[in-house]
Amino acid sequence: MEATKKIEKVKEKPSWSDAGILMKKAGIPAEVKNQQMIIALSIAFNIPPQGITILSDNPYINKNGLEYLFNEYKAKYNWEYFLATPIEVAKQAGDTAFFKTEVFNHEGVIVANGFGTANAGNIKMGTIKVFLNEMAETRSQNRCLRKILSPILYKNFIENIRKVKDTDRELIAEASVNFGSVTAEEIAATSDEEVKAERLLTEEEMKAITVYLAVINNAKTQEELEKVRTTITKDKDDKVFNPNQLKVLAEAWSGRSQNLAFDKK
């Protein structure tokens, strides 16, 4: 009987709550709180702690987190690989670097793309101003991957928020306001307003649009998508949604519309 219990325990799905052993031991109370926040967000969004970065006390998903999610779900969604290519290379400090990243499916069809630029004017951190090409490439990659991975993050959040302890739920509710679809590498923007414009929704905000997201994701034709857009537009005029909810719905609608267009080819 004891052996059976051990086997069942081994078969349990691993939890990111055990991943704290991979992290540097926290010292001061602020570091302890940050690590607790990272572990809680790892569980809620189903990404490793190393996929989350704390900057100015706010958590953000980073390049590692997006790449982990891509590898986890690429088989399910028929994604093959993503590729970043330079459009314009920065050769000196005053130049602007411009990159494009594309995601390809198993048939070689492009299913998503993203663009990223970097120059002395749109990077606040002086230590990375000399790495313009690398920053532009990373920004393009992150923006591309966010287009296809943000809905997965939202879905994981709704499914997993109920699985964590009440104390962790409070921590996640606080952190998720700032932990969003903008990535750690992208927050080196010109202004803080640009950063705050993109964030994940709270649990209540997400619940309010779940039905609309389901209709969008299950749409089989462009006509079905147009119908849900009409409904969303009406609700927008009635001020049912806030700007962040509308942004999530718009991204989901655009992504589904793009997929339907590719399916016809």
CATH number at residue 129: 3.30.390
Q: Cβ distance 99 to 84 under 8 Å?
A: yes
Confidence of residue 262 (pLDDT cuts 50, 70, 90): low
- When the pLDDT of each residue in the chain is averaged and rounded to a whole number, the result is 74
- Rounded to whole angstroms, the Cα distance separating 87 from 1 reads 63
- Range with top average pLDDT, 28-37, 43-52, 56-65: 43-52
Question: What's the residue count for the chain?
Answer: 265
What's the pLDDT score for residue 80?
A: 96
Q: Does 58 share its domain with 177?
A: yes
What's the pLDDT score for residue 191?
A: 41
Q: Does 191 share its domain with 209?
A: no
Q: Does 122 share its domain with 87?
A: yes
Least confident of 138-142, 151-155, 196-200, 244-248: 196-200
What's the pLDDT score for residue 2?
A: 44
What's the pLDDT score for residue 161?
A: 76
Q: Does 226 share its domain with 110?
A: no
**Helix segments in 127-184, DSSP class H:** 132-160, 166-175
Average pLDDT rounded to a whole number, residues 83-96: 85
Query: Tokens 């970043």 — which residue?
Result: 84
pLDDT over 70 (residue 34): yes
Q: Does 142 share its domain with 187?
A: yes
Tally of domains within the chain? 2
SS3 state of residue 241? coil
Q: Does any domain span residue 10?
A: no
- Rounded to whole angstroms, the Cα distance separating 254 from 231 reads 15
- Range with top average pLDDT, 54-58, 157-161, 162-166: 157-161
- Residue ending a domain, among 174, 200, 226, is 200
Sequence letter at residue 177: V
Least confident of 1-5, 43-47, 51-55, 94-98: 1-5
Confidence of residue 25 (pLDDT cuts 50, 70, 90): low
Average pLDDT rounded to a whole number, residues 30-55: 83
pTM of model > 0.85 = no
